[in-house]
Structure 1
C-alpha cells in the first residue's frame, strides 16, 4: 500500500507479488471475456437475454464488471511497480506524487 510499499523492502518479494497479481488479473479478464462470449454465442436463437435465467444474468453482469475493473487495477499496480523499480513519482510525496491516486484508482 503506497507510500510504505514504495519505500520499504528492497528485495523482490513485493515485486513478485505485483507480477503475480498481474497474472491473476489477466486470468480473470480472460475468464470474464470467455463467459460473456459464451453467453452471447451459445444460447438458443429463440432465447433472448430478456428471457435468460437469473444465473445467466448474474454471470454476465459479473463478467462485465470484471472487464471494466481489472484493467484499472492493473494500471495502478503498474504505477506501483514503476515507482519501486524505475524511480517514477506517481505515489511518492517527496517527489511530488500523490498517494491518494492509488486509493482513487
Structure 2
C-alpha cells in the first residue's frame, strides 16, 4: 500500500502519521515500539533509503510493462527523506547534475 498510495511521502511519515493502524496490524508494533527502535538509530537511514528506493523501482517496472508510468515526474519518498525526480537521477542513476 505504501509504495503505491504514498510514494511522495517518507516511510517514517506513513508509519507515524498516515497509516499507523496498518503498521501495527502488519508488524504488531505500536508507535512507542517503533520510536524505541528509531531513537537509538537501529535503522541505518542510508540503507533504509536505498532499500525503499529499490522497492519502488520494482513497483515501477511492474507497472511499466503495461505502458503505464503513473508516477513520472513525482517526488520520491524514501525512508526518511524525499527526493525530486532530478535528485533521483543524480543519486541513483549517476546522471550528472547539469544533465538531469
TM-score (norm 2): 0.31
| Structure (1 or 2) with the greater helix fraction | 1
Larger radius of gyration: 1
